[in-house]
A = this chain, B = another copy of it.
C-alpha cells in the first residue's frame, strides 16, 4: 500500500494553505485559497473542499489518515476558533466539526503556536524531546509547552500565552488591554516599535534612519548583520527582555530546549546568542548551561502546513 499521508491546513487571516505530508515531513502536494471573500464560514469550507478534491483524487484519498488545522485562537479541546480578531468570521466558529463533515476526515484543530510545537516534536528539531518550549516571534509572541511528551493545554485549552506574560511593569500598551506584555517588546512588531521609538528619541547615526516610518524587523536584522550599532543595540535590548523572561519560564517547566520560530527568529544567532546570554545570566543556578536554544529548521512557507499535519498522526 502507498505510504500514509496527513493533511495539514493552515488557516491564516488572509490565506489558507494546505498540504499532504508523509511521516518524513515531505509535502507531497500543496495548494491554497484565500481565507477572505467567501461570505459565510460554510461557504469558505465549501471553497476549501473544492480546492482539496483534486488533491485527494491525485494522492488517493484512502491514504489520508486524517487532518490537522492550525488557526489563530483555535482551541484543541472544543475544535472551535474563538473570537479571533483577524479572521473574517466573528465569535465562536466550530471549525473542526465543519471541516470534518465537509471533508469526511477526522480533523484536529489547534492554535498556530501549538500546531507548530507538535510539528517540531513530530518532524523537527524537537523530535524525541519530552520537555521543551516553542516560542514564535511573529506579529505577536506565541508559545507551546510540552511536558512529559504531551502538549500543556491547561484545563480550558488556553495554556501557553507566553506573549502575555508581563515582562515590563507599566510598560508598553498591549492590544490585550494590559501593559508591558512580552509581545509588545519581543515580537517582530515589538522590535519595529523599539526601532521607531529610538529613532525619534535619539540622534545616533544609523542606516535604520532611511527606513524611519516604514520600519520592519527584517530591515533591523539586515542593519544588525551589517554591524549597525543602533540595530545591534535594539537586538540586545530585545534579547535582554526575552532572556530574562525565559529564565523565569525555565524555573517553571525546566525544559531541555527552547525552540524559536517566526519572522523575527529568522535573525538567528544575532538575536538568539544574546537571548541565551541573558537567559543564562538570570537563571537559577540549577538550570545553568542545561537549556538548549534552538532555531526551527522549517522554512516559513511549509512550517504551518507541517505543524497542522502533525496533529493527524
Contact = CB atoms under 8 A, between A and B. Distances in A.
A256 B155 CA distance: 6
A212 interface: no
A285 interface: yes
A164 B290 contact: no
Given A152-B147, A247-B166, A159 B254 contact: yes
B130 A165 contact: no
Contacts of A156: 254, 290
Copies of this protein chain in the complex: 2
A249 B247 contact: no
Interface in A276-292: 282, 284-287, 290
Contacts of A131: 152-155, 159
Contact of A249 (B157, B158, B252, B285): B252
Contact of A147 (B147, B164, B284, B286): B147
A154 B254 contact: yes
A160 interface: yes
Interface in A235-257: 244, 247-249, 251-256
Interface of A: 129-131, 145, 147-148, 150, 152-162, 164-166, 169, 176-178, 244, 247-249, 251-256, 282, 284-287, 290
